[in-house]
Amino acid sequence: MRWSSALSTQTDPSVAVGVAVETIRDQLSGDPADLLLVFACGHSDDAWDIFLKDLAYAYPEATVLGCKAGGVIGGGREVEGRTALSITAASLPDVAVLGFHYEVDESASLEATATWWGEHLGVEVEHQPSFLLIPDPFSCDPANLIAGLDRAFPQATKLGALASGGEALGDHIMVLNDQVFRSGAVGVVLYGDIEVAAVVAQGCRPVGPPMVVTGAKENVLMGLSGESALGQLETVFSGLKAEDQALFRGLPLVGLGIENGRRSYRPGDFLVRHLLGMDRDKGVLAVGARVEVGQVLQFHVRDADSSRADLEALLRQYTASCSAEAVQGAVLFSCVGRGERFFGEPDHDTGMATRHLGGVAIGGFFGAGEIGPVNGQTWLHGYTSVMGIFRPKGFS
């Protein structure tokens, strides 16, 4: 297994793809590419005809997956809002790479969506597959997509991000091999001599104490630790420092404990969701997820320091359990709300991942929502950095 990644800021599409392909050829040392991940920012829609034609000529056997994006990641760099092309290539002996285009009626039941995967992929649970996903946010319900995929392949790792940079239906370009799509989702399934680990950095820190949900109906939070939910929020908020109050006002968040009954909770022990609103007369809060009685909940804030510390801790945790020497490559799906404007420095997430993973090739893009697992279930996230880390299983 060998991975490579290149990024070109050339504005001429033919020059950009030519520069990237030459870099990849050098990095792969002549090995064939079985998978090409292609992400472009700032190029015209017509440029994709050139990209796909030249890539098919250079690597005719490779499965090509990609999209237009608001920013791209590759070659150790992150480029946002400017013209850039990122190509990540992988030579994957003893690995099956299957591309797919997903388009299902949004009214379809969860069972019907799960059935779609079995009928269209020809992949069995026993294959232990992993998935890379790129949905269009205007024509595809990503929550329905990943719920059906979790039902069909409950143990599989699913990673990805929503295409970004467009403002309306039809604005986004998603590619699979030589085809261009403007709706649905595209993706690849990988199985064989490959292991895909997920790092999901939600980038938040808790404020106030953990509390137990004592009243809830669907996504409406009524009671916390025996008091009204709104009353508990007001108590927590009044005890925060001024800077944390400002953060919470700008982006109010709650963390839902992924395991109840713990003595203590750390940032990674929560699924972070938005606080959507409140009803002062009833004393209730609306949360961006289903809430259950008995669940542990803690209010959260997000800032650059918290996001930096979260990603660092998760990467340290990964390298402590799995040697970085075995890592061959990685993909990074980062939120358009992160990047240089958020951290105040360029290449933040890429640089940290490169340091911890031993300088491996990393490619990806800035998405309008990120897909990754928390506690064995796949979720759509926001303001999150989702990373897929690849290494051989070692049985070949």
Beta strand pairing call for 84-91 and 195-201: unpaired
Token pair listed for 234: 């007001």
Please write the tens of the pLDDT for every residue from 54-70.
999 999 999 999 999 99
Please write the tens of the pLDDT for every residue from 339-393.
999 999 999 999 999 999 999 999 999 999 999 999 889 999 999 999 999 999 8
> Is the pLDDT reported for residue 395 higher than 50?
no
Task: Judge contact between 36 and 4, C-beta under 8 A.
Answer: no
Beta strand pairing call for 329-335 and 361-367: parallel
User: What is the C-alpha separation between 202 and 211, in angstroms, rounded?
Assistant: 20
Please write the tens of the pLDDT for every residue from 213-260.
999 999 999 999 999 999 999 999 999 999 999 999 999 999 998 766
User: What is the C-alpha separation between 245 and 328, in angstroms, rounded?
Assistant: 42
